[in-house]
Amino acid sequence: MSSTQNLPGQHPAARLDESRRDTEPEPGFLRMPPQNMEAEQATIGTLMSTMGAAQRYFAEILETGIVAEEYYKPAHAMIHRAICDLRQAGEAVDVVTVAAELVQRGELTKVGGAAYLHSCIQAVPTIANGPRYAEIVRAKAYRRAAIESAQKILQYAYSEEGDEVDVRGLVEKELTAIVAGTPGLSAAPPVVDDIYLDYVDELEEIQKGRQIGLSYGLADLDTITSGMRPGNVTVIAAQSGVGKSTLALNAATAAAKAGARVMFSSLEMSSTELLQKIVAAEGMIPMHHLTRQGGLTPDGWKEVERLGRELFKTLPLRIHRPDHAALRDIESAARACVRKDGLDVLVVDYLQLVEVEQTRNITREQAVAAVSRGLKNLSVDLECHVIALSQLNDDGMVRESRAIKNDASVVIKVERPDVDEPESPRAGEVDLVIEKNRFGPRATVSAAAQLHYSRFIDMQSA
């Protein structure tokens, strides 16, 4: 009988597959395992290129969780281990020190010599994207791990070993391991019993009249909103020239004076302009005395010197002027602050100037929504409070308001009665209209606008 003759009840296609099974390897075993050599080289190259101001990218790469075993090319794993060991020992990391470390390990020739280290550095398109290259490497490693687990299951299932209980046990073991190894996989959230005692402690503080959040610098505003809390976003919205940057800078300075670690990311004003505002507010020196030649009196100079000695010398406030108005730059700087000293408050001035990686046909509203969501996620991830400034339209509506309001815990609209009516009986006052408040009622808080000193103060203080 011919070997190709149909068996009773057997479909021809099944017979053909059976005949091939013994003569042809499985297609999956002929494929190149998932890997990306360009991303691996770029990751290694970035780790050896992050000296000086670019050091923050080194830590951001390691924060992705990448380890030597996730590189496909063994030489890259050797280089990664050498880099991490140098870093752990407190040594400088660059192509020369890494090469010396590999020589000491007897591995320099194995990785391709010093020339290959230089080629890895040259393979880096942009060192700021180092964390993204590492994420690509990790994603490929995860796919390889999934394939390996699947192959183990297939081989055991095809064998005659064990019974269905053993097969099920292997499947559960391999699937559990591969799911647990998923990059970015979170642990199960805590049950309420785990967080109850912390809640009671906070409740006791509130009932005793102690403010839980950081102060905005205005007592009436703190009373209504309970101050600035980690993991939350406050949006301060106003038309141009009303004073939203002044209010935000006052809040940032007040928080820093209370010991909070603050970063003010300004896409609109220079560092000099921000310092002028702080000096004017804290020293009660009229702004125009600081901005024109010969305007500063001898007493004014003494006050400036005093502020430098008694305030700025220890004030935990960082001014961030990003090279590009990109959300990723702000996130990177904020994470660098966390690694350096910690971060309690992040101020972004202002939302509509922040850029995101846009795809085709994205609307401006979608772009701002991405920025708003990114800042909200950052506040939760870094456990800090974010103050995000936003422009108002001419009709008094927050631009792209839906997305911004959704992500905010508190939305404050700044209105000055004397903007349109200079002779208003409320000249010199400002209304802080709290349009959204997750920690209390909606309300309007009035304050005194001393803009010649670049500050807002409580009405009773005025």
Residue 415 lies in a domain: yes
| Helix spans in 89-180 (H) | 95-105, 113-122, 130-158, 164-180
Question: Is residue 163 predicted with pLDDT exceeding 80?
Answer: no
Look at residue 16 and tell me whether its pLDDT is greater than 70.
no
Tens-digit pLDDT profile for residues 274-283: 999 999 999 8
d(CA 147, CA 86) in angstroms, rounded, equals: 33
Q: Is residue 192 in a domain? A: no
Residue 155: give the domain boundaries: 1-184
pLDDT of residue 71: 95
- What pLDDT was estimated at residue 397? 57
Domain count, the chain: 2
Q: Provide mean pLDDT across the span 421-444.
A: 86
Percent of the chain with pLDDT over 90: 37
Task: Report if pTM > 0.75.
Answer: no
Same domain? For 57 and 23 the reply is: yes
Same domain, 137 and 245: no
User: What per-residue string of b and e applies to 135-162 under the rule 16 or more CB within 10 Å gives b?
Assistant: bbbbebbbeebbbebeeebeebeeeeee
In single-letter form, the type of residue at position 148 comes to: E
Tokens coding 391: 């422009």
* Residue 74 pLDDT level (bands cut at 50, 70, 90): very high
6 — pLDDT class (breaks 50, 70, 90)? very low
Contact 98, 86 (CB under 8 A): yes
The answer to whether residue 298 sits within a structural domain is yes
Whether 193 maps to a domain, the answer reads no
* pLDDT band for position 25 (cuts 50, 70, 90): very low
Give the mean model confidence (pLDDT) for residues 87-114. 91
Q: Average model confidence (pLDDT) for the chain? A: 83
Maximum mean pLDDT: which of 17-31, 261-275, 391-405, 417-431: 261-275
Confidence at 367, pLDDT banded by 50, 70, 90: confident
Is there a domain that residue 29 lies in?
Answer: yes
- The CATH number of whichever domain residue 53 belongs to comes to 1.10.860.10
Taking alpha carbons only, the member of 388, 438, 408, 384 closest to residue 230 is 384
Q: What is the largest CA-CA distance in the chain?
A: 114
pLDDT tens sequence across 166-191: 777 777 777 777 776 665 555 667 78
400: left (phi over 0), alpha (psi -120 to 50) or beta: left
**In terms of domains, do 178 and 241 share one?**
no
Same-domain pairing of 20 and 129: yes
